[in-house]
């Protein structure tokens, strides 16, 4: 099988060692990619560093490149090829994979818009005695070479959330896509380099495992900033390993949702069934913990269970499939073991909990979950929601906040007071009212508190992170 090359200084680079990429659903071999070592990483970073000084790109050109990428992503062949690649390498159902490519397109559009309007500000120096007679303003200057390290679960749009703002900000970038799902990210990078006019020095790709290729990138002296999306364990270790670099972290989560009796709980049940199981629950804002008021708990759980039972499971390439395999059997078996443990601790299975003949873990609803169970306290990253009933809304707020994570939380309610209190009290990066915490638009600020991270993505916000403020004073 031929190796899909990486791109360093515009050249297609192969290595002697390969990583084999397999489809999580049926185990078929999809391809091989280079196992890049320190020397490849070094060449890539040095190429990016050189582009900063030798191949400057004005703001208008950067915006045009990003717009061109969005145009090409709308092309049927490009669109479908990327969606199929995602579906195969990540076992993401093809309709969800198409939605990811659509979102990627809008990430490029918003990045182009943010690039065009990126500006500094006028400083009112005259407002102080010392500043009298001086003119001052700020510029936003690129932070330098950006290293982008991305996870397996959104292998195109999360790559876009790093490459597009970096280009907009004027930062050359080296991408290391997830070791399980590198193929779609490599294709997106090739689109930028080969068809959008991005000069070769501005984007390099390296593939390999995290501890070798990823670590070499993090440790390289010429990398000014690491933008990382992935697990808290790896993310915080990167932060510790690179104390003098900018390190932006988008990490894990175990999203709670509160369902009040005055809210549209039937709609909540349907949305939670989808949001807890989309991409087999492997979304950082997948619904995991459901707190439902006692007065509607039985009816709500029945509705939720019915909706989960109606989901179509199977081959990710089948248009009807809504839930497919987890990324690997280790993770599938881990989630199954956590379900068993929860049952051992007093939870009940309303539906699911079994592994089908094709290896897909059936989407699972657990009831009577408690905070000490792993399915509540950890990030499940599997097709599972746990339901707990409450009598007092303040208890639900307290339980929702009782987590080391803090990305998104949600509440269904028709009450303005409860809405306002939720927004004030829920200690998360985003609070979604009358929809699931899984809801996200690509232009909004997105990120978490506590173990969920230390930054905000969304093109305009990522650009701010990838630039430094330079003060200019004219005496």
Q: Which two tokens stand for residue 56?
A: 């400057």
Q: Does 234 bind ligand NAD (CB under 6 A)?
A: yes
Q: Which stretch binds ligand NAD (CB under 6 A): 39-47, 64-72, 172-180, 258-266?
A: 172-180
Classify residue 79 by burial, with Cβ atoms within 10 Å: 0-12, 13-18, 19+: middle
Contact 90, 327 (CB under 8 A): yes
For the CB of residue 322, give the shortest distance to ligand NAD in the complex, in Å.
20
Q: Which stretch binds ligand NAD (CB under 6 A): 65-73, 213-221, 273-281, 369-377?
A: 213-221
Q: Does 256 bind ligand NAD (CB under 6 A)?
A: no
Cα distances (Å, whole numbers) of residue 290 to 259, 315, 343, 364 = 8, 28, 17, 13
Q: Which stretch binds ligand NAD (CB under 6 A): 108-116, 248-256, 308-316, 343-351?
A: 248-256
Binding ligand NAD by CB under 6 A: which of 453, 454, 456, 463?
Answer: 453
Q: Does 407 bind ligand NAD (CB under 6 A)?
A: yes
At residue 121, the 3 state secondary structure works out as coil
For the CB of residue 147, give the shortest distance to ligand NAD in the complex, in Å.
9
Q: Does 188 bind ligand NAD (CB under 6 A)?
A: no
Q: In terms of CB distance, is 34 or 151 closer to ligand NAD? A: 151
Angle ∠(430,435,437) on CA atoms, nearest 5: 40
Nearest residue to 397 (alpha-carbon basis) of 422, 424, 428, 371:
422
Q: Name the β-bridge partners of 204.
A: 174
Q: Which two tokens stand for residue 401?
A: 């906040």
Contact 360, 316 (CB under 8 A): no
Q: Does 210 bind ligand NAD (CB under 6 A)?
A: yes
Q: What is the DSSP letter of 213?
A: I
Q: In terms of CB distance, is 80 or 328 closer to ligand NAD? A: 328
Nearest residue to 397 (alpha-carbon basis) of 255, 258, 253:
258
Q: In terms of CB distance, is 56 or 211 closer to ligand NAD? A: 211
For the CB of residue 305, give the shortest distance to ligand NAD in the complex, in Å.
25
Q: Which two tokens stand for residue 161?
A: 């959330």
Q: Which residue has the tokens 């051992």?
A: 344
Q: Does 211 bind ligand NAD (CB under 6 A)?
A: yes
For the CB of residue 282, give the shortest distance to ligand NAD in the complex, in Å.
7
Binding ligand NAD by CB under 6 A: which of 218, 297, 400, 464?
Answer: 218
Q: Does 461 bind ligand NAD (CB under 6 A)?
A: no
Q: Does 252 bind ligand NAD (CB under 6 A)?
A: yes
Residue positions annotated with a catalytic role: 250, 284
Contact 310, 337 (CB under 8 A): no
Q: In terms of CB distance, is 227 or 321 closer to ligand NAD? A: 227
Q: Does 229 bind ligand NAD (CB under 6 A)?
A: yes
For the CB of residue 233, give the shortest distance to ligand NAD in the complex, in Å.
7
Q: Which stretch binds ligand NAD (CB under 6 A): 148-156, 195-203, 369-377, 465-473?
A: 148-156
Q: Which stretch binds ligand NAD (CB under 6 A): 247-255, 268-276, 314-322, 356-364?
A: 247-255
Q: Does 178 bind ligand NAD (CB under 6 A)?
A: yes
Binding ligand NAD by CB under 6 A: which of 34, 155, 214, 459?
Answer: 214
Q: What is the DSSP letter of 457?
A: B
Q: Does 369 bind ligand NAD (CB under 6 A)?
A: no
Q: Does 284 bind ligand NAD (CB under 6 A)?
A: yes
Alpha helices in 310-373 (DSSP H): 329-344
Classify residue 49 by burial, with Cβ atoms within 10 Å: 0-12, 13-18, 19+: buried
Q: Does 238 bind ligand NAD (CB under 6 A)?
A: yes
Binding ligand NAD by CB under 6 A: which of 153, 277, 288, 301?
Answer: 153
Binding ligand NAD by CB under 6 A: which of 40, 46, 109, 176?
Answer: 176
Round to whole Å and give the CA distance between 178 and 304.
Answer: 33
Classify residue 320 by burial, with Cβ atoms within 10 Å: 0-12, 13-18, 19+: exposed
Cα distances (Å, whole numbers) of residue 321 to 32, 101, 183, 357 = 27, 17, 22, 16
CB closest to ligand NAD, residue no: 210
Q: Does 105 bind ligand NAD (CB under 6 A)?
A: no
E-only strand ranges, 9-86: 11-13, 18-22, 29-34
Binding ligand NAD by CB under 6 A: which of 253, 364, 367, 403?
Answer: 253
E-only strand ranges, 195-262: 203-205, 223-229, 246-250, 255-259
Q: In terms of CB distance, is 231 or 419 closer to ligand NAD? A: 231
Cα distances (Å, whole numbers) of residue 379 to 101, 255, 273, 328, 373 = 25, 9, 17, 16, 11
Q: Does 346 bind ligand NAD (CB under 6 A)?
A: no
Q: How far is CA 120 from the centre of its chain?
A: 28
At residue 45, the 3 state secondary structure works out as helix
Number of residues that bind ligand NAD (CB under 6 A): 30
For the CB of residue 212, give the shortest distance to ligand NAD in the complex, in Å.
9
The total number of residues written for the chain in this structure: 475
Q: Which residues bind ligand NAD (CB under 6 A)?
A: 149-154, 158, 176, 178-179, 209-211, 214-215, 218, 229-231, 234, 238, 250-253, 284, 379, 381, 407, 453
């Amino acid at each position: 099988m031929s190796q899909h090359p990486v791109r360093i200084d515009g050249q297609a680079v192969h290595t002697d060692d390969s990583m084999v990429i397999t489809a999580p659903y049926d185990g078929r071999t999809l391809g091989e990619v280079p196992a890049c070592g320190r020397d490849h990483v070094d060449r890539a970073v040095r190429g990016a560093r050189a582009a900063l000084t030798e191949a400057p790109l004005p703001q208008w050109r950067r915006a045009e490149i990003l717009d061109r990428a969005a145009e090409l992503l709308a092309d049927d062949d490009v669109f479908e090829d990327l969606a199929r690649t995602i579906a195969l390498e990540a076992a993401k159902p093809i309709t969800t994979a198409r939605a990811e490519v659509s979102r990627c397109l809008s990430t490029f559009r918003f990045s182009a818009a943010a690039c065009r309007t990126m500006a500094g500000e006028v400083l009112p120096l005259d407002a102080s005695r010392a500043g009298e007679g001086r003119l001052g303003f700020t510029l936003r200057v690129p932070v330098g070479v950006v290293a982008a390290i991305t996870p397996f679960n959104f292998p195109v749009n999360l790559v876009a959330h790093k490459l597009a703002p970096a280009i907009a900000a004027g930062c050359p970038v080296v991408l290391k896509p997830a070791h399980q799902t590198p193929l779609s990210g490599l294709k997106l990078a090739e689109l930028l380099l080969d068809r959008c006019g991005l000069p070769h020095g501005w984007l390099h790709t390296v593939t390999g495992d995290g501890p070798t290729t990823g670590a070499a990138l993090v440790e390289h002296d010429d990398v000014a900033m690491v933008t990382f999306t992935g697990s808290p364990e790896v993310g915080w270790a990167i932060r510790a390993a690179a104390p003098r670099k900018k390190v932006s972290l988008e990490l894990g989560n175990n999203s709670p949702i509160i369902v009040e009796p005055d809210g549209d709980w039937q709609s909540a049940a349907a949305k939670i069934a989808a949001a807890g199981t989309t991409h087999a629950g492997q979304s950082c804002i997948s619904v995991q913990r459901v707190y439902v008021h006692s007065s509607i708990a039985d009816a709500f759980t029945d509705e939720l269970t019915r909706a989960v039972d109606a989901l179509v499971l199977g081959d990710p390439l089948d248009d009807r499939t809504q839930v497919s395999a987890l990324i690997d059997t280790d993770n599938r078996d881990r989630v199954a073991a956590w379900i068993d443990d929860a049952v051992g601790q007093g939870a009940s299975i309303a539906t699911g909990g079994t592994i089908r003949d094709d290896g897909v873990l059936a989407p699972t609803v657990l009831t009577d979950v408690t905070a000490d169970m792993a399915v509540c306290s950890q990030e499940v990253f599997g097709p599972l929601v746990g339901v707990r009933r409450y009598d007092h809304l303040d208890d639900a707020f307290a339980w929702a906040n009782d987590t080391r994570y803090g990305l998104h939380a949600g509440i269904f309610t028709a009450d303005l007071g409860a809405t306002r209190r939720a927004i004030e009290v829920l200690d998360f990066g985003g609070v979604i009212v009358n929809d699931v915490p899984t809801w996200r638009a690509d232009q909004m600020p997105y990120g978490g508190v506590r173990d969920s991270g230390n930054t905000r993505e969304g093109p305009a916000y990522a650009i701010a992170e990838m630039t430094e403020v330079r003060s200019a004073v004219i005496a």
